[in-house]
Copies of this chain bind each other. A is one copy, B any other.
Amino acid sequence: MRQAVHALSVRTERPGLHEITREVAAWVGQQNLRTGLLTLFCRHTSASLLIQENADPDVARDLEDWVAKMAPESRDYRHQDEGRDDMPAHLRSALTGVNLAIPLVEGRLALGTWQGIYLFEHRARPHRREVVLHLIGD
């Protein structure tokens, strides 16, 4: 049994869903494990992680609109330090969460046919986001 850890850096140029399935699967593949558990952890409170359909791009757009409606911008928040998109970003991050766990089976992530891994950027301005990948198995 062994472990591997990696800090994946993701550039976000705009708010919304950024697919990272390919980068994650590539790193996992390099570790040459057959059975295991992959954990993803987003080190931020204004971006989050999500598994969603990656076939039709309309799903991502509808999902972004829905999250924006669930946690809208508003002048009513106490916390406004970094502008109008500051507090909604924290709420949207709480909504989908900052960690994921995906089993590794027969050398491959157990993602379903239509499942993709996404970093969800909730701030308006471009950011560099860090996602820690932890893999354990044999």
**Which residues of A are at the interface with B, using a C-beta cutoff of 8 A?**
1-3, 5, 35-37, 39, 41, 43-45, 50-53, 56, 58-59, 61-63, 66, 70-71, 77-79, 81, 87, 90-91, 93-103, 105, 110-112, 114-115, 130, 132-134, 136-138
- Minimum CB distance partner of A47 in chain B: B112
- Minimum CB distance partner of A2 in chain B: B1
For A39, the chain B residues whose CB sits under 8 A away are 37, 101, 103
Contact assessment for B103 and A87 in the assembled complex, using a CB-CB cutoff below 8 Å = no
Task: List 25 interface pairs A-B (beta carbons < 8 Å), by A numbering.
Answer: A3-B36, A37-B136, A39-B103, A41-B103, A43-B110, A43-B115, A44-B115, A50-B94, A51-B98, A51-B99, A52-B90, A52-B93, A52-B94, A59-B79, A59-B87, A61-B78, A62-B87, A63-B90, A63-B91, A63-B94, A98-B115, A103-B132, A103-B133, A103-B134, A112-B130
